[in-house]
Chains A and B, each alone.
Chain A
Amino acid sequence: MTFVPVWGGIIACYLFLAGLGGGAFITASLVKRMHPEATGVVRVGRVIAPIVVIVGLCLLMVDARGGLYNPLRFVFLLTNPGSVMTWGVVILAVFVLAALIVLLMDLIGKNEAPAWLVWVGNVFGILTAAYTGVLLGVVNTFPLWNNALLPVLFIVSALSTGMAAVMLGGLITCPEQVKGMVDLTKVHLVLPAIEIVLFFFLLFIVAHVSTAGAASVAAMVSGGYALAFWVGIMAVGLVIPLVIEIRALRSGDNRGLAIAGDVGVLIGGYLVRYIIIVAALPVVLL
């Protein structure tokens, strides 16, 4: 039988945006701590965070047609506490709420958002990113998903894409503020490096789990998804942005290159979700 993936581009986009939102909020908090003068960049992060997660949730509802036709059914989403998707709904709701209140207080500008609320946002930002990995991780049909490394990879990728989105927004709206952010650049540089290592571990281990695991990995590294994997994820999404960041640290900022690197991280981040969703093959039954 030819296996047709259950989910596709829409859900990949949802997972990508949820992670990106969490990452963007945390990036804003990091910038505020490391470079308090870069207020414009903080603002960018806080604007991006709730918006992309809300867009992602809308995509989810479009994909879930049973609910789209009968919206009241979404109320039932809270009824199975054993389901990771139920946790996800709670996590995303708390995150969006916290991120929106922080953004509103930021925009009104009368009072700083209280530290505890920002921390709620930070913690639920990480949880949002982790949830997207655990959602797939508990599904034992697919060896490529059913492992503990996937949520970790998704968290790192979420931080990386969130940071790239904030830097990109910063480079467009307030480039002079981004210039001096050497410390954040270092963090931004480490993430793709960790991701490459995690990817290697994930693929190497999954390839040894079962025939279905080996077939999924083969589809990624040498099969139908090889081009997207090597060019899209590895080159455009990880190695090239890494090289650009190293160059920026050594010989100073170049706005064009930095924008290219951040766009690359975003493209790669989406493809990570997409390929992992569609390349996963089910366990062999017969």
Chain B
Amino acid sequence: MARYGMLINTKKCIGCYTCLVACHRQNNLLPTENFIRFEERETGTYPNVGVENIPLQCMHCEDAPCAAVCPTGATYIGPGGVVAVEEGRCIGCKYCMAACPYQVRVVNESTGTVDKCRFCTVTATDGTKTCSCVEACLTGARTFGDLDDPESDVSKAIVELNAKPIAGDLTKAKIFYVR
């Protein structure tokens, strides 16, 4: 079984939000339901300064704290290591939102349940090649694939660009960042 992961190259990210728009369309989300959150960080010391755009979304952690605390088992780690939410079991207690150190879970205001990035590319493999945020990115900042396959684009890119999880070993995250 594959172990899906993603690489996000913040050096290529221009903060245009196209991935977010594509995500909304692909997953049919409410306007308030953002699976991708953008952090802007100032870097350097004056006069050599810059701005870093960092898109954050569910890291599909192998040791997902959200799944560990979910009292109803609505959040679980599914095939391919994708952290998923079974809406029909979610009571909306928001314990997972507290437990997620990345704060990338959102409440669906119409159902009261909690949702997040679904790594939708995995189920969309028949139709589109990669999930829509990956396809839509104008600068090619995102790479998706099987982390267990050393020949996959994502595995090669992680090695080549020395990509790392956003917050060290806070959790065993499967999104790798180039910064």
Contact = CB atoms under 8 A, between A and B. Distances in A.
A66 B112 contact: yes
B99 interface: yes
A67 interface: yes
A231 interface: no
Contacts of B90: 66, 73
A282 B101 contact: yes
B39 interface: yes
B93 interface: yes
* Size class of the contact patch on chain A: 35 or more
Nearest to A84: B69
B65 A66 contact: no
Given A89-B71, A139-B69, A141-B100, A76 B39 contact: no
A283 B101 CA distance: 7
Contacts of B91: 64, 66-67, 70, 73-74, 76-77
A80 B101 contact: no
* Size class of the contact patch on chain B: 35 or more
Interface string B56-83: 1000000001001111111000000000
B69 A7 contact: no
B162 to A, nearest CB: 18
B17 interface: no
A85 B71 CA distance: 6
Given A64-B93, A64-B94, A80-B71, 20 more contacts: A3-B103, A63-B92, A64-B92, A65-B111, A67-B112, A68-B92, A70-B91, A76-B71, A76-B74, A79-B72, A80-B70, A86-B71, A136-B98, A139-B69, A141-B101, A282-B103, A283-B170, A285-B166, A285-B167, A286-B39
